[in-house]
Structure 1
Amino acid sequence: MSSLQKDDYDDEEDEGERREKQKEEKIVLESSIRLMMIKMMMMMKTMTTMMKGDDDRSQSSSRIEKSSVCKIRYRTSSKTPAIVSRFLSSRHGSGVLLSTEKYATANEIDAFNREDFFVLTAAHVASMAGTRRDGLECVFPSDFKKEKAVSVQAEIFSVHERLDLALLRVVSSPSSVSSVSSLLSSRGLELPQKRNEKMKETQRVRAFGYPMAYANPFFSLVGDSEQSNGEIIGYSEDCTHIAHTSTVSSGCSGGPLLDDDGYVLGVHSFGDKFYGGEADVAACCFEMDLIDMLNKPAQSPSDWDTSTINEKIMKSSLKAMREIFPDIPEKEAKKWIL
Structure 2
Amino acid sequence: MKDVYLLSGFLGSGKTSLLAHIIEQFKAEGIKPAVIMNELGKLAFDSRAVDNEVPLKEMLEGCICCTGSEKMEAQLQMLLEGEDFDVLLIETTGAAHPVEAMDAVLSPLFANKLNMKGIITVADCKRWLDRDNMTPQTRMLFLEQIKHAHLIVANKIDLLTEEETLTVTMQIQALNDVAPIIQTSNSKLPIKLLKNMEATFHDKEVHEAAIGKQLTLSSRLHTFQEGLHQEEFEEWVRSLPDTVYRMKGYVPLKGHKNPFLFQYAYGMVQWLPEYMKMPPQIVIIGEQVDKLEIIGSGRND
Instruction: Output the TM-score relative to the length of structure 2.
Output: 0.25
Structure with bigger gyration radius:
1
Structure whose residues are more often helix by fraction? 1
